[in-house]
């Protein structure tokens, strides 16, 4: 019976995403990925190279999904922050992958998907600032950094703090949106 490489790759990517999100690059095990995908581990090396290259493929795919699923509107950053919050609430593995990427690749690997996503968002922020539609109090890099931090803030609080508060998802989402609104409150074009 002929093997369907497309289906095999898809199973491997699904298994690798789960394993890498849970354990990061250093902690992930090729044997576990192969077992979860029901394939010989040699196929991982044949299709993706080493574990680092497999992570790059998984993370690049994740970044592509974020671009598709979380519309970036530089003129409505509070709504974008809300959508980003939703993305991480609905898919905690996505935030874990992103965290592992930052932890294990602190200098960045210049993955094309990451570079492209950042260039698109920063360019849109620059355009909105030039058009007077967005505050110039922060430069685009500062804005993007702060908005991403606010959108992920609830997911990154320590467990002890989270256990002492009983806030609903709707409350947390409203807080994210309100925080970004206040961040931008100095008005378009003001410094």
| 53 CB neighbour count, 10 Å cutoff | 13
pTM recorded for the entire structure: 0.84
Task: Classify residue 74 as exposed, middle or buried by CB count within 10 Å of its CB (0-12, 13-18, 19+).
Answer: buried
The SS3 call for residue 50 is coil
Q: With CA atoms as reference, report the closest residue to 119 among 67, 169, 172, 154.
A: 67
Asked if 52 and 61 count as a contact pair (C-beta separation under 8 A), the reply is no
Q: With CA atoms as reference, report the closest residue to 80 among 117, 132, 130, 131.
A: 117
Q: With CA atoms as reference, report the closest residue to 143 among 86, 174, 151.
A: 151
Q: With CA atoms as reference, report the closest residue to 142 among 105, 114, 183.
A: 183
**pLDDT tens for each residue of 98-124:** 899 988 887 766 788 888 889 999 999
Read off the pLDDT of each residue in 81-87 and give the average, rounded to a whole number.
95
Query: What was the pLDDT predicted at 191?
Result: 45
**pLDDT tens for each residue of 156-186:** 887 777 666 668 899 999 999 999 999 998 6
Question: Is 50 exceeded by the pLDDT of residue 2?
Answer: no
The SS3 call for residue 85 is helix
Read off the pLDDT of each residue in 33-46 and give the average, rounded to a whole number.
93
**pLDDT tens for each residue of 126-155:** 999 999 999 999 999 999 999 999 999 988
Domains and CATH numbers, the chain: 1-49 (1.10.10.60), 56-183 (1.10.357.10)
Question: Is 60 exceeded by the pLDDT of residue 188?
Answer: no
Tokens of 35: 């077992």
């Amino acid at each position: 019976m002929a093997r369907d490489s497309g289906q095999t790759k898809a199973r491997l990517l699904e298994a690798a995403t789960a394993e890498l999100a849970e354990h990061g690059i250093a902690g992930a095990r090729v044997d576990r990925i192969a077992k979860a995908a029901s394939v010989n581990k040699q196929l991982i090396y044949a299709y993706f190279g080493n574990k680092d290259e497999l992570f790059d493929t998984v993370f690049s795919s994740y970044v592509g999904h974020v671009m598709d699923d979380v519309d970036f509107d530089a003129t409505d950053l509070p709504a974008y922050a809300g959508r980003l919050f939703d993305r991480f609430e609905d898919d905690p593995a996505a935030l874990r992958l992103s965290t592992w990427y930052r932890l294990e690749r602190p200098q960045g690997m210049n993955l094309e998907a990451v570079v492209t996503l950042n260039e698109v968002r920063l360019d849109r922020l620059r355009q909105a600032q030039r058009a007077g539609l967005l505050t110039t109090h922060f430069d685009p890099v500062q804005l993007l950094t702060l908005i991403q931090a606010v959108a992920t803030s609830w997911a990154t609080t320590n467990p002890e703090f989270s256990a002492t508060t009983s806030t609903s998802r709707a409350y947390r989402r409203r807080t994210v949106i309100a925080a970004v609104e206040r961040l931008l409150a100095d008005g378009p074009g003001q410094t």
